[in-house]
Structure 1
Amino acid sequence: MISTKIPFVIFKSFFNGSIRIKLDWESLISEQVTINMSFFEELENPSSWYLPWYLNDVDEEVSYLAPNARQLTLADIPKAINHLNSKRRDKIQELLSRFINSTQPVQLVIATYALPDGKHLIMDGNHRSSALILAGVKARLMVFEMFGPLDPELLPDLRLWKD
C-alpha cells in the first residue's frame, strides 16, 4: 500500500456532489480533518469496511436512525444483498456483471471516513465496492480517507461510532 497526505480542497473537488450520504462540507472546512490517498492492489479485510447501509433485527433495511440499526460491512454483502432495497440491489448486480466480464483488474476510486481500529466507513463507492466483493476479481483501489472527529454533526452515520 502506498499512502500520501493530500489537501482537503482536492478531496472536496473530487467528491463534492458524488457523496450522497449526509456530510457537512462547511463544518469540515473548519475542522482539523486530514485526507490520505492510498493505493491498494486488493480490498483487504472486508469486515473492516463499513457501508452506510443498515439492517434491523429481522434483516429489513432501515435508516441509521432506527434504534436497532445494525451496520453492514463488505464481508456481510454476500448474505445481506437479498435484504437490501431493490434499487440498491439492482445497481450492485449491474456493476457485478461488468466486473465479472472484465479482463483487467477493476479500478475503483472510493472515499472513506476513518473509524477506530483501522476500520473505514465508505462514503462514496458503496455499490462498486459491494460488487467487487461479490465478483471476487482482481482490483486496484484508490482510497481517499478522511481522518477527523467521530462527530455525528459532521457525518450523521458516525452516531453509531460514538461511545
Structure 2
Amino acid sequence: MTLAEFVALFGDGSVRVLLDWDALGARGCPVDQVVSRSVDVLGDLFTVWYAEGAEYTATGARPLRVRDVTLSGDVRGERVLAIERSYRAAGRPVQLTLPVYALPQERYLLLDATHRSVAAFRSGLPVRLLLCVLRGPVDAAVLPDLRHH
C-alpha cells in the first residue's frame, strides 16, 4: 500500500488524531500491511486514550492499550458496549481494517476505530485484522500523541 492509498482510505476525516498529513507526504512515508487473527495483537495496540481520562497534552499521560481500557458509564463506554453487543449478536469473527502508526520495537498506535477495537477485544470473539501500518517518524510534531512513546 502506498501513502496515497492510505490517505484515500483514512484521510477523509475518519482519522481524527492530529496527524500532520502534509509532513508525512513530504517524507514519502511507507505503509505496510500486517494480517493477523490474534486477539493479542489487537489487545497490544496502543490507543490515543489515556489513563484516568488525561489529555494527550498532559505531562506524563499514560496511553492505554486496547486491553487496558476500562469502561465507565460515560458516552464512550456506552458506545463501546453497544458495538460489543452487535458483535456478539452477529456471532462471527470480527473483521477490522485499522490504521496504525509504527512505534519503536514493532509496537503500534491505533489512529482510528478505538471504540470498535475495544469492543472486539472485549467480545471474546475471534478477530481478523488488517493493520495498515504507517511508518513515519516518531516525532510529536507529526503526531502529538507520539510524545508519550
TM-score normalised by structure 1 residue count: 0.84
CA contact under 8 A between 1:47 and 1:73: conserved in structure 2? yes
What does 1:5-154 align with in structure 2 at a 5 Å threshold?
Answer: 6-16=1-11, 17-46=13-42, 48-55=44-51, 60-77=52-69, 80-82=70-72, 86-154=74-142
Gaps of 5+ in 2: none
CA contact under 8 A between 2:31 and 2:133: conserved in structure 1? yes
CA RMSD, 1 decimal: 1.5
CA distance in structure 2 between the partners assigned to 1:76 and 1:103 by the alignment = 24
CA displacement 1:49-80 (0-9 Å, x = unmatched): 1000112xxxx301011123111011212xx2
CA contact under 8 A between 2:100 and 2:134: conserved in structure 1? yes
- Identity %, equivalent residues: 30
CA contact under 8 A between 1:48 and 1:118: conserved in structure 2? no
Greater strand share, 1 or 2? 1
- CA-CA distance at 1:46 after TM superposition: 4.8
TM-score normalised by structure 2 residue count: 0.92
Q: Alignment partner of 2:81: what SS? A: helix
CA distance in structure 2 between the partners assigned to 1:47 and 1:126 by the alignment = 11
- The higher-RCO structure (CA 8 Å, 6+ apart) is 2
Q: 1:116 to 1:47 in 2, by over 3 A?
A: farther
- CA-CA distance at 1:38 after TM superposition: 2.1
Where do 4+ consecutive residues of structure 1 move more than 6 Å? none
Residue type at the aligned position of 2:98: I
Q: Alignment partner of 2:98: what SS? A: strand
- Could you tell me which residue of structure 2 aligns to residue 3 of structure 1? none
Q: Alignment partner of 1:101: what SS? A: helix
CA distance in structure 2 between the partners assigned to 1:143 and 1:68 by the alignment = 28
